[in-house]
A = this chain, B = another copy of it.
């Protein structure tokens, strides 16, 4: 294992792909981008780890540690230049690019996804939709004509699609993910409650409201739930 010198530092703008940035740090960076964007909209040009920490609900020390993976953005006692930090983080995350995205499964959820206005401003363009129900094929949702699943490979290639959103019934998750991987899709946003298996080099993120709810009930456990009737004040 290589040893990293104690005073090792990455100059701003240096490619850091060779460094092992923990996935949990990468997962937080989009929230930095969102927060910095909001600060800039409010006319705030300089920020610090206290302010960012308060917004992101992590400690200032964590903020400094996260950003240290990517070089020296701030100067001791002077804070971070919002615009500069935002530009750099967007570049690091690949958000200075545009991404073509396919949606697989156009039930109620797929329908809501295709009509969601939040993807486009952030550079994610929903350019194709697929469904295995012949009744849905050919219909237009959110301005996109639904294609049959057997058109997937051709469209992924012709439209330069690298990202897919999966909103199919659970039983079809793995088979759809396998097809996407075979077509060359490298990032999958999975709306089903199934842990899809993918080969190395393919990323999966899950959107799972039940898991999110379950991580909150821990904190409610003594505040009253309906089963045992000890509801709090009314």
Q: Which residues of B contact A119 (CB under 8 A)?
A: 209-210, 213
Compute how far the CA of A186 lies from the CA of B219 in the bound complex, rounded to whole angstroms.
9
CB < 8 Å: which of B96, B203, B211 contacts A30?
B211
Q: Does A47 reach chain B (CB closer than 8 Å)? A: no
A34 and B219 contact, Cβ closer than 8 Å, known pairs A97-B227, A112-B111, A227-B96: no
Chain A, interface size category, equals: 35 or more
Cβ-defined contact, A187 with B216, below 8 A: yes
- A interface: dominant SS: mixed
Binds B, one of A1-9, A143-151, A155-163: A155-163
A→B interface (CB under 8 Å): 17, 24, 26-27, 29-31, 33-35, 55, 92-101, 108-109, 111-113, 115-116, 118-119, 122, 124, 157, 160, 162-163, 165, 184, 186-187, 189, 193, 195, 203, 205-207, 209-228, 231-234
